[in-house]
Amino acid sequence: MSHALLLAAQTGELPSAASPLVVGVGVAYFAVVVAIAVWASRRTRTREDFYLAGKGIGLIALTLAAMASTFSGFTFIGGPGLLFATGLGAMFFVLPASVTNAFTVWVVAKRLRLLVEVRPVLSIPGAIGLRYGSRAAQGWAGAAVLAGIIGYMATNVLALGLVLDALFGVGLGWGIWIGTTVVFVYSATGGILAGIYTDVFQGTIMAVASVLVFMYALDAGGGLGSISTTLLVADPGFMSPWGSFTPIAALSLYLLFSIGVVGQPHVMHKFFMIRDPSRLKWYPVLVTIAMALVILLMFGVGLAYKALVVTGQAPSPDPADNTAPLFLLQHTPRLLAAIVFSGIAAAMMSTVDAFLNVGAAAITHDIPTALGRPLEDELRAGRIATVVLAVASGIVAQTSGTLVALLGIAGYGLLASALVPALAVGLNWPGATRSAAIASIVTGLVSSLVLGLLTWGGAGDPILSVPEGITVSAMTLVLSLGVFLLVSALTRGGTMDELDDDVRLALEI
């Protein structure tokens, strides 16, 4: 199995955690989520409420929501499993977190927030359309968002089903549909406001639980020094900075996850919502701390459980994604395990709700605008689109077999490749042109899908294999960036000189 496949969310059966305590905590968790949805639904009256939370959220809410949406279930399940299977090289997925948050605010967040001061921008494709004065660019960006999120969302829905099955013992099928129903009910009724405040609740639980689990992990392994010594004796390659990755593959992951973050619409979209742009001052500090706390779980459990396995104190997880669940069930108090299992489900729901919102915006706002047929009641259409997208992702999760893993893997890279040049360069470089934006979005979209399919083996061998285990997504990101720079050099039209004075000022302050 390629390293890239390991990035996909959980796709194998989890060990059962069902017990009265776990079920009780899970039910309490869902009750809080429903209560937030009811509260949010009463405050969601316009399309700005539905897509932008009325531009009224505070710094703490932005911080926790961005962290929860970014990490999904990866740091709880995929991350520890990946570290167990590939060694310390897996940390290259999360090491860029020390750079990405300041990178994000400096490169795009301030610009995005200032744009909504002067124009009613609802979405990332909308911001792209405004920057280039181009409905085509907005439409292509909307199409890329839809293509990127559908598989990403289905992967998370499948993982959510597996976690709910482990929590309540209801079976995978029921797990998928219970999870899907809860998410679409609160997303469709409460819009992004419900998503943001469930994310605040979920993000808080994620951060606190991660610190506690990290402490139990160090304790179980006898401290970090003891764990390192054990692993160095048993498997020196595991403790190498590259793990089982090649250097160029690990470095490519750093490249993709440091720069690609500004192409993730479900995270960038949240910058439209902060009440006062001045509040962004403390955002990178707070979100970096929050992310560091959550990464502790991946790091601690991945290392400690490997040490426990090599010393015969714990069974080998099969598949590796069972690393964190097995550790929780065997080495932490049952109440903490129950909270973390609920937190895992919550993390996945927080990602899905964010995707549902940006997907609904693409369907009901960006693509109709691009086609010259804007909808009259975007709030109602947004609620309907949310339900349709949720049901579609549930069906894809249940019926597409291993294809869902491909779609999930391709999602992050596709969004990065399609949106980073037009957004991160275009919002900051006056000379970026409309043709370059469209060309890079199409290049990112098509190359990600085509190369993703060619390098995906499914049940057999892939048609094309990339040497050295380099992720295709890093290649497509560099390709679309090159196309953007080249086409900007060769064309005119859509530069900042052509923008209205107030829009231009928002991009030049």
Partner 1 sequence: MMRPSLGLASLTAGTLTVAAAYIAVLLPGPAPAWPAWSVALGTCLLLFGFLDLGAGRRDGRPLAVRLVFAGTAIWVAVGFLGILWSTPADLETPFVWGLPLPAAWMIYVLGIGPALFLPLAWVVLFRSATLPDDALDRLRAAKRAHEAAGEDTP
**Position among 157, 261, 488, 494 found at the interface with partner 1 (CB under 8 A):** 488
**Position among 470, 473, 487, 494 found at the interface with partner 1 (CB under 8 A):** 470
For the residues of 403-454, what is the DSSP string, one character each? HHHHHHHHHHHHHHHHHHIIIIITTT-TT--HHHHHHHHHHHHHHHHHHHHH
Minimum CB–partner distance for residue 62 and partner 1 (Å)? 14
Minimum CB–partner distance for residue 346 and partner 1 (Å)? 25
**Position among 139, 195, 284, 343 found at the interface with partner 1 (CB under 8 A):** 284
Q: Could you give the CA distance from residue 77 to residue 56 in angstroms, rounded to a whole number?
A: 33
Q: Taking CB under 8 A as the rule, does residue 118 contact partner 1?
A: yes
Minimum CB–partner distance for residue 478 and partner 1 (Å)? 5
Site for partner 1 in 132-151 (CB under 8 A): 133
C-alpha 253 chain-centroid distance = 15
| Phi, psi of 57, deg, nearest 5 | -90, 155
Stretch in the footprint of partner 1 (CB under 8 A) among 314-322, 324-332, 359-367, 487-495? 487-495
**Position among 43, 55, 119, 275 found at the interface with partner 1 (CB under 8 A):** 119
CA distance readout (Å), 261 to 51, 71, 91, 236 = 20, 11, 16, 32
Site for partner 1 in 430-459 (CB under 8 A): 430-431
| Phi, psi of 128, deg, nearest 5 | -65, -45
**In terms of CB distance, is 13 or 276 closer to partner 1?**
276
Beta bridge partners of 385: none
Minimum CB–partner distance for residue 88 and partner 1 (Å)? 6
**Position among 13, 117, 219, 377 found at the interface with partner 1 (CB under 8 A):** 117
C-alpha 298 chain-centroid distance = 16
- Element housing 319 (H / E): none
Stretch in the footprint of partner 1 (CB under 8 A) among 111-119, 198-206, 313-321, 379-387? 111-119
Q: Please say whether the dihedral angle defined by the alpha carbons of residues 502, 506, 507 and 509, taken in this order, is positive or negative.
A: positive
**Position among 312, 372, 460, 467 found at the interface with partner 1 (CB under 8 A):** 467
Instruction: For residue 466, give the 3-state DSSP assignment.
Output: coil
**Position among 2, 181, 204, 246 found at the interface with partner 1 (CB under 8 A):** 246
**In terms of CB distance, is 119 or 334 closer to partner 1?**
119
Site for partner 1 in 210-239 (CB under 8 A): 223-225, 227-229, 232-233, 236-237, 239
Size of the site for partner 1 (CB under 8 A): 86
Q: Could you give the CA distance from residue 22 to residue 506 in angstroms, rounded to a whole number?
A: 50
**In terms of CB distance, is 147 or 262 closer to partner 1?**
262
**In terms of CB distance, is 37 or 296 closer to partner 1?**
296
Q: Please say whether the dihedral angle defined by the alpha carbons of residues 435, 441, 447 and 450, taken in this order, is positive or negative.
A: negative
* Overall size of the chain counted in residues: 509
Site for partner 1 in 147-206 (CB under 8 A): none
Q: Could you give the CA distance from residue 71 to residue 380 in angstroms, rounded to a whole number?
A: 30
C-alpha 408 chain-centroid distance = 10
Q: Could you give the CA distance from residue 441 to residue 447 in angstroms, rounded to a whole number?
A: 10
Provide the CB-side half-sphere exposure for 292 (13 A, CA).
9
Stretch in the footprint of partner 1 (CB under 8 A) among 101-109, 318-326, 355-363, 390-398? 101-109
**In terms of CB distance, is 174 or 242 closer to partner 1?**
242
CA distance readout (Å), 413 to 187, 204, 262, 289, 393 = 25, 28, 11, 25, 19
3-state SS, 71-140, equals HCCHHHHHHHHHHHHHHHHHHHHCCCHHHHHHHHHHHHHHHHHHHHHHCCCCCHHHHHHHHHCCHHHHHH
Q: Taking CB under 8 A as the rule, does residue 371 contact partner 1?
A: no
**In terms of CB distance, is 150 or 220 closer to partner 1?**
220
Residues in contact with partner 1, shown as a per-residue x/- string from 310 to 349 under the rule CB under 8 A: ----------------------------------------
Stretch in the footprint of partner 1 (CB under 8 A) among 55-63, 96-104, 153-161, 379-387? 96-104
Q: Taking CB under 8 A as the rule, does residue 91 contact partner 1?
A: yes
**In terms of CB distance, is 24 or 225 closer to partner 1?**
225
Minimum CB–partner distance for residue 350 and partner 1 (Å)? 23
**Position among 156, 288, 332, 364 found at the interface with partner 1 (CB under 8 A):** 288
**In terms of CB distance, is 163 or 261 closer to partner 1?**
261
